[in-house]
Structure 1
Amino acid sequence: MHIKEIPEDFIVYEVADIHPEGQGNYALYRLKKRDLTTWDVLGEIARKLRRRQDEIGYGGLKDRHAVSYQFVTIPQGPKKDLHGEGWTLEYLGKVSSPMSKARLQGNLFEITVREVEASEEELSQEVEAVKRFGLPNYFDEQRFGSVRHGQGFAAREAVLGNYERALYLLLVEGSQYEYRRTEKFRECLRRNWPKVESCLELAPSPWERRLLEFLVAHKPSKRTFKRAFALIDAEYLLMLAHAYQAYLWNEILRRYLNRRNLDHFTVPYLLGEFAFYEKLSPEALEELSSLRLPLPSPRLKLTPDVRILYEEVLTREGIPALSKLRTLVKGLVFKTYPREAVIFPEGLTFSLQEDERHPGKKKAVFRYFLPKGSYATLVLKRIFRRGYF
């Protein structure tokens, strides 16, 4: 049983509060991409138009191994369609303000699971449970691409003052871009660190080249490595901070659910386990449906019982208190917002069909809408009670 055998098995339609207005300083487009990351496509569009990539407005990053549709805006962009290998940009009209995360409402998914062994009755039972009780709103593995190597979070190392280790992780073991594109660069750094001069020509972006030039020009020291953070792309720094917060939040929610003594089962994921409940009492359903847990941040105001959970998780990470979840690196900050503990997929349906790619087998096609920030794969992990596909 598996997903994403072909990109068409995972289709994503972005839903956003934006539409052509007939006038405005921004051109609105619908971007369709296949088997590409959002960042790589936006970079190619910027190069085609000879514009800075940060001028292109967008709402969120979509899965690479998928067919996805999303909105982008370009100030004074061309009134025509654009095309590239694996992507098309369809011109929709003019708008007065750019596309952004604030305008993103969520995503509609159509996902095919192949070689399904469960019966229609078994799937119906699990789907009905999800409709009735929802599921925990964990961050799924896509959020943790920067730690797929299993060597830890760059943001955590920065909090602990290990600046060289943090730089190594974000440059060598992580990447702002698609991994295959930066493989030679990262392998060169891995072989030569911290003597990085021979890797300059392989740098995949201007900021990475400037950072390496700085390291070449200065003697290795804690001060040098800390100062080098000022050259890192600001959006990448925020992404690294948020990835670490997301992991901590997952652990906090898991502990919160475990302390409610709910009937539950666990499934593995890249960084540990997800705990899913089987069902909820009316009281528990009411409590969890309204529960919002903020992402960990040093100035949070929490009730004593909830603060205990946060500090237990941080202590295990070597961070003695919530107030210590901070760095001395400009831009590497832990912003917070309340996140729903439980989500209810809207319009959740499925159909069991013959699998045309695997004769004699079945495929299940699921359709549902999720609010922004929630993960479609998590719904499948709950329904099928397994961590990997």
Structure 2
Amino acid sequence: MEKLLLERAGRIHLNRGGGCRAGSSPGPGRAARSSSPPAAPDLGESPMPMPLLKVRPEDFRVTEVLGLPTASRAASTHTYLRLWKNGVTTHEALGGLAAALGVAAQDTAAAGLKDEDGVTEQYISVRGLLSDRDLERANAAGRSPGGDRIWRVSAHATGTAALRTGVLDGNHFQLVVRGLDEAAAAALDEGPGRHQHFFVNYYDTQRFGVPGGPKQTHLIGRALLAGDEEAAFRLLRRSGSAEGARALVHEGTAEEFWRLLDPRVPVFYRCADASYAWNAQVRALLTEVVGGARVAHMDRDGIPYAFATARDVVPALLALRPELDYVRYRWTDGSCVRSTAARPTVLQTHITVSGVGPDELHPGRFAATISFFLPSGGYATTAVHQWFLQMFGAESATREDAAPSQDGANPQDGATAVPAGSTIA
């Protein structure tokens, strides 16, 4: 079947630039999206444009999967809510919820961080037992961001503990891939409806910065770990994140600023440094195990990656080293706690293809709907990027030019090329 796909699709070029926004960056950190969809990429003589993700928020849907123990209201200390959001990060929604309810930010919690540029649903917890009136007040606040930036909550259940990272089962994704040419659309339409896919479990680019901004969350974290709060503050001011915007107007010292934040935010930056180090480990391992023409080396938004260009390469990595240790940081009992855990080097999923047809937003091009499940910690767009790369070969990663939008905006400010990363804890 792989041969059939290659014959149908010919040479497919993917753009490897363009940042992708995910909830794993702590703040909104960007201007509002343009209402105009990007134009189909102009690739001259190239037979295949780069696939586009997130042309519209509803093109990227994420539903959290979590087995959540509950208790009777009489025995409970926490309320569990279902958070629906579009255009805001999980951190931003939690902050708005806490402010609306008049509770401390640390009284709200989530099991994972969800993408900003999409329609996402997840569970959150709030200390205390909330009433219907509390939820009405919260949802009034959730409508206040305006435009397509909105969130709302609904009651789910009650229980005896706050949510925490590490308990999430995973996420289900339903994505629309746009801008395909006829050969690629035919390959997807006439190929199998369900694809088994192994991919390297990289932290994707949104882990390291917001769209259009420098990818430097790991550098901020590294400075914090070194005790240099002033250097971390200077980097943060240039980051384009929500915290960066606050830092730009802060009139006190760097030390005072970091103490003003929800303590989970500085912990996020420390985790980003650990994520960068883990990526380097698995990248070196893949290069050592395979190397040669079957590994494509790329620098995307300043973050280096190495990807397999054939389907049999990644299972070989899995057989050799199924896990690598990584360092993680958590805010626990009033302090930042460092620990070590194992992270899978490779993830497996099944990608279902449906709805292949004309792309109504890009005349002459085609779109396809794909859906799949990833365990906690997996990034959806690195899965999709590697899937295309393995199907269509190394040449799919060679193109450098980015797709302009209709209003001339950078594609990082709207639709995103498949190679840029996205999601999600």
Q: Does residue 13 in structure 1 map to residue 63 in structure 2? A: yes
Residue 373 of structure 1: aligned partner? 377
Partner secondary structure for residue 101 of structure 1: coil
Residue 235 of structure 1: aligned partner? 264
| Structure 1 residues 141-165: Cα deviation after superposition (integer angstroms, max 9, x where no partner) | 1211279425670232345565432
Q: Does residue 259 in structure 1 map to residue 288 in structure 2? A: yes
Q: How does 1:212-251 map to 2 (within 5 A)?
A: 212=252, 215=253, 233-251=262-280
Residue 311 of structure 1: aligned partner? none
Q: How far apart in 1 are the matches of 2:209 and 2:192?
A: 29
Q: How does 1:1-389 map to 2 (within 5 A)?
A: 1-18=51-68, 20-23=70-73, 24-80=76-132, 81-82=135-136, 83=139, 84-85=142-143, 86-117=150-181, 118-120=183-185, 122-123=187-188, 131-132=196-197, 134-145=198-209, 148-150=213-215, 153-158=219-224, 162-170=228-236, 172-174=237-239, 178=242, 183=245, 185-188=246-249, 199-200=250-251, 212=252, 215=253, 233-262=262-291, 263-277=294-308, 278-280=310-312, 284=316, 287-288=319-320, 291-296=322-327, 335-346=339-350, 348-385=352-389, 386=397, 387-388=419-420
Partner secondary structure for residue 112 of structure 2: coil
Higher helix share: 1
Q: 1:174 to 1:331 in 2, by over 3 A?
A: farther
Q: 1:383 to 1:359 in 2, by over 3 A?
A: same
Q: How far apart in 2 are the matches of 1:160 and 1:368?
A: 39
* Residue correspondences, number: 319
Q: How far apart in 1 are the matches of 2:368 and 2:342?
A: 34
Q: CA deviation at 1:105?
A: 0.7
Q: How far apart in 1 are the matches of 2:208 and 2:108?
A: 24
Q: How far apart in 1 are the matches of 2:326 and 2:296?
A: 24
Q: How far apart in 1 are the matches of 2:204 and 2:192?
A: 19
Q: CA deviation at 1:230?
A: 6.0
Q: How far apart in 2 are the matches of 1:243 and 1:88?
A: 28
Partner secondary structure for residue 112 of structure 1: strand
Q: Which amino acid counterpart does residue 128 of structure 2 have in structure 1?
A: Q
Q: 1:121 to 1:282 in 2, by over 3 A?
A: same
Q: Which amino acid counterpart does residue 269 of structure 2 have in structure 1?
A: L
Point out the more displaced range, 154-163 or 272-281: 154-163
Q: Which amino acid counterpart does residue 165 of structure 1 have in structure 2?
A: A
TM-score (norm 1): 0.71
Partner secondary structure for residue 196 of structure 2: helix
Greater Rg, structure 1 or structure 2? Answer: 1
Q: 1:178 to 1:130 in 2, by over 3 A?
A: farther
Q: 1:48 to 1:260 in 2, by over 3 A?
A: same
Percentage identity across paired residues of the two chains? 25
Q: How far apart in 2 are the matches of 1:282 and 1:110?
A: 24
Residues 173, 186 of structure 1: 8 Å contact kept: no
Q: 1:271 to 1:348 in 2, by over 3 A?
A: farther
Q: How far apart in 1 are the matches of 2:300 and 2:192?
A: 21
| Structure 1 residues 52-85: Cα deviation after superposition (integer angstroms, max 9, x where no partner) | 1211121111111110000112222323244221
Q: 1:18 to 1:333 in 2, by over 3 A?
A: closer
Q: How far apart in 2 are the matches of 1:102 and 1:343?
A: 17
> 1 or 2 for the larger relative contact order (CA 8 Å, sep ≥6)?
2
Residues 164, 226 of structure 1: 8 Å contact kept: yes
Residue 47 of structure 2: aligned partner? none
Residues 290, 313 of structure 2: 8 Å contact kept: no
Q: How far apart in 2 are the matches of 1:381 and 1:283?
A: 17
Consecutive unaligned residues in structure 2, runs of 5 or more: 1-50, 144-149, 329-333, 390-396, 398-418
Q: Which amino acid counterpart does residue 79 of structure 2 have in structure 1?
A: A
Q: How far apart in 2 are the matches of 1:368 and 1:127?
A: 14
Partner secondary structure for residue 345 of structure 1: strand
Residues 25, 97 of structure 1: 8 Å contact kept: yes
Q: 1:334 to 1:241 in 2, by over 3 A?
A: farther
Q: How far apart in 2 are the matches of 1:98 and 1:333?
A: 17
Q: Which amino acid counterpart does residue 230 of structure 2 have in structure 1?
A: E
TM-score (norm 2): 0.66
Q: 1:388 to 1:347 in 2, by over 3 A?
A: closer
RMSD: 3.4
Consecutive unaligned residues in structure 1, runs of 5 or more: 189-198, 201-211, 216-224, 298-329
Residues 146, 173 of structure 1: 8 Å contact kept: no
Residue 412 of structure 2: aligned partner? none
Q: How far apart in 2 are the matches of 1:130 and 1:267?
A: 25
Residues 131, 348 of structure 1: 8 Å contact kept: no
